[in-house]
Amino acid sequence: MRKWISFPRIEGNTSRQAHADLPPDTFEREMGKEGFFGPSTHFYHRHPPTGWSAFEGPLRPHAFDSTKMIHKGKSPWDQKPILRNDNSLVALWTCHKPMDHLVRNADGDLLLFIHSGRGSLFCDFGHLPIRDGDYIILPRGTMWRLSPWEEDSLALLMVEASGGHFQLPEKGILGANAIFDQATLDVPSIDQAFLAQQGEIESRVVVKARQQLSTITFPFNPLDATGWTGDNLVVRINWRSIRPVMSHRYHLPPSAHTTFVGPGFVIATFTPRPLESDPGVLKVPFFHNNDDYDELIFYHRGNFFSRDNIHPGMLTLHPAGFTHGPHPKAFEAGRKRVRRETDEVAVMIDSRTPWDILPDAHAVELPEYVNSWKAR
């Protein structure tokens, strides 16, 4: 049990409740530890904490437009790596045609988020229809392939838990059925489509281990299971099955929307919800430092209510130590309560270990992103 130095003190003109009823003409900034779980202090500033006139140096935020990427190749190992550290690899890939081989990841569990398209997943466990908005967790060692339907392509966000595993978050007093019931997790079926693809057909399995590829050839299709039993499973859940935690009188921190937990990082899902209705409460995310985590957001659909000039398929990276919050236009819209609900869907990945930005990401970076908060 950690024993933090914890004796809250108050100095000057403050709010009695964080994120609500701010002193007139002030802007709240949270400085906390352990993301949003540890001790925190809230400052009330006369000016927006992001209202800089110039920003120089490596701490600057990053925005990447993945819609400018050209994806080639027939394998997920032809992915475009975006970010990497010892715990995780974040990449993008578009599957244009049915894969002509199987793949297996020996470096860790793999999570696929389907950004667009429909198709089928074939794996050790059977057949699973997939569509846009699906999360699919593939345990380390699973053999699998994708087959888009008709002329559709499957655009994927891929997150590897390098040397680790994906688990569900602790839901505490909310109870086990909050956010989503585990009964909503789907598993593949040994159905007719799965049985029909079995046979004495020469098949290749391209295995990734230690970030190197090996090819194993079989005189038959190794996806030939007739049954299975166990709880180390491929599972699927769509964002449409996620029921976000909400409060009409308090803006909840992003950690309240955690969907999966990996080694040293968490994955949260922002889904459509009503905005806070209490007259004095913040209607947009509060300014914060988040000094302990790098924050990546992948924008899937809708208009992200705290960002300006962001479209689906883009990613933003706010490194640990970078003070950030809503863009000026979004902050004003929240203050005036222009909107009553959000229509966004986004995937947030927060990593305790800083990421290295890889060349494929730099190639589609928008260098002016840092100026989107700039004082006008």
Please tell me the chain's helix, strand, coil percentages from 3-state DSSP, rounded to the nearest 5.
Answer: 10, 35, 50
According to DSSP, the residues that pair with 341 across neighbouring strands are 274
Q: Which of 317, 313, 312 is nearest to 297 (CA)?
A: 317
Residue 308 has pLDDT above 80, yes or no: no
Q: Token pair of 307, please?
A: 């960002």
pLDDT band, residue 60 (cuts 50/70/90): very high
With a CB cutoff of 8 Å and minimum separation 6, the contacts of 218 are: 202, 203, 204, 205
According to DSSP, the residues that pair with 89 across neighbouring strands are 84, 160
Q: What are the structural domains of the chain? A: 72-167+175-239 (2.60.120.10), 241-373 (2.60.120.10)
Q: Which residue has the tokens 């499973």?
A: 233
**Cβ 156 vs Cβ 69: under 8 Å:** no
Per-residue pLDDT at 289:
83
Per-residue pLDDT at 67:
96
Residue 376 has pLDDT above 80, yes or no: no
Per-residue pLDDT at 250:
86
Residue 305 has pLDDT above 70, yes or no: no
Average pLDDT over residues 280-294: 86
Instruction: Name the most confidently modeled range: 307-311, 322-326, 330-334.
Output: 322-326
In three-state secondary structure terms, 53 is coil
pLDDT band, residue 71 (cuts 50/70/90): very high
pLDDT band, residue 151 (cuts 50/70/90): confident
Q: Which residue has the tokens 């699998």?
A: 144
Neighbouring C-alpha atoms within 13 Å toward the C-beta of 310: 28
- Phi/psi of residue 344, nearest 5 degrees: -80, 155
Q: Which of 186, 164, 170 is nearest to 110 (CA)?
A: 164
pLDDT digits (tens, 9 = 90+) for 8-21: 889 999 999 988 89
One-character DSSP codes across 83-104: EE-SSEEEEEEEE-S--SSEEE
Residue 329 has pLDDT above 70, yes or no: yes
**Percent of the chain at pLDDT above 90?**
71
Average pLDDT over residues 188-213: 97
Q: Which residue has the tokens 């398929």?
A: 313
Q: Token pair of 351, please?
A: 């990593």
Better-scored residue on pLDDT, 222 or 211: 222
Per-residue pLDDT at 186:
97
Per-residue pLDDT at 236:
98
Average pLDDT over residues 115-130: 98
* CA dihedral of 244, 248, 249, 250, whole degrees rounded to 10: 20
According to DSSP, the residues that pair with 274 across neighbouring strands are 341
**Cβ 101 vs Cβ 165: under 8 Å:** no
Report the chain's mean pLDDT, rounded to a whole number: 92
Residue 306 has pLDDT above 70, yes or no: no
pLDDT digits (tens, 9 = 90+) for 218-256: 999 999 999 999 999 999 999 999 999 998 988 888 889
